[in-house]
């Protein structure tokens, strides 16, 4: 890299009609500038790589209520406010859910729109399923429940307004959607 910089510098000097060879001091200054540039690029690259690489998860269970009644099926999603870690779980027909949630402040999404197209389709009813996670031992279970019309904002954790602080250790948290 340094010879390229010096060659470019020499070509520029020649185009101005000056002597093309660099003095010892000029060569040293060019090397120092290149080393400083390389150092700061490494510092910048190292700074970009910081942040949590893994997250601790714990069990959270409870019931999802919509307008005071248990939501009859769907999906619940917990997303950390910082770090973008997430986890999802099925909501049972009785409104109960159990999730391995990331520890910390989370935003919560609740969705049962997957049942909307199912109830409006003629013919055999195919139950929606959730795909198997990599490394999971269990096969995905078909979702059970029925569609309840609710505002679509609740399906998106960052727009739902539903928040919770997940602590270490198993805990219960009922989710109330209005």
Query: What domain range is 169 assigned to?
Result: 57-177
Same domain, 41 and 65: no
Percent of the chain with pLDDT over 70: 70
Using the structure block, give the residue that is written with the tokens 């269990």. 138
Within this chain, do residues 99 and 145 fall inside the same structural domain, yes or no? yes
Asked if residue 164 and residue 80 are part of one domain, the reply reads yes
Shared domain check, 69 and 7: no
Q: Do both 72 and 120 map to the same domain? A: yes
CATH code at position 151: 2.60.40.10
DSSP assignment of 116-149, as one string?
HHHHH--SS-PPPB-PPPTT--SPPPBP------
The residue among 25, 48, 71 that closes a domain is 48
C-alpha angle with apex 147: 145 to 96, nearest 5 degrees?
A: 40
Let me know how long the chain is: 178
Q: How many domains does the chain have?
A: 2
Residue of 116 and 63 predicted with greater confidence: 63
- Is there a single domain that holds both residue 131 and residue 65? yes
* One domain for residues 81 and 154: yes
Q: Are residues 69 and 124 in the same domain?
A: yes
65-77 residue pLDDT tens:
999 999 999 999 9
Examine the domain organization and report whether 34 and 68 are in the same domain: no
The model's pLDDT over 101-136, given as tens digits with 9 standing for 90+, comes to 999 999 999 999 988 875 454 444 444 555 555 555
């Amino acid at each position: 890299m340094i010879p390229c910089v010096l060659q470019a510098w020499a070509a520029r000097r020649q185009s101005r009609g000056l002597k093309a060879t660099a003095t010892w001091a000029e060569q040293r200054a060019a090397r120092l500038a290149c080393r400083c540039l390389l150092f700061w690029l490494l510092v910048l690259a190292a700074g970009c790589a910081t942040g949590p690489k893994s997250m601790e998860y714990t069990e959270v269970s409870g019931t999802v209520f919509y307008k005071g009644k248990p939501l009859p099926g769907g999906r619940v999603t917990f997303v950390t406010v910082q770090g973008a870690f997430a986890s999802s779980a099925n909501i049972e027909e009785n409104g109960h859910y159990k999730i391995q949630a990331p520890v910390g402040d989370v935003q919560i999404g609740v969705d049962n729109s997957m049942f909307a197209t199912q109830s409006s389709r003629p013919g055999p009813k195919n139950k929606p399923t959730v795909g198997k996670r990599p490394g999971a031992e269990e096969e995905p279970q078909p979702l059970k429940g029925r569609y309840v019309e609710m505002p679509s904002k609740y399906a998106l954790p960052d727009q739902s307004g539903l928040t919770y602080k997940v602590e270490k250790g198993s805990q219960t948290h009922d989710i109330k959607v209005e």
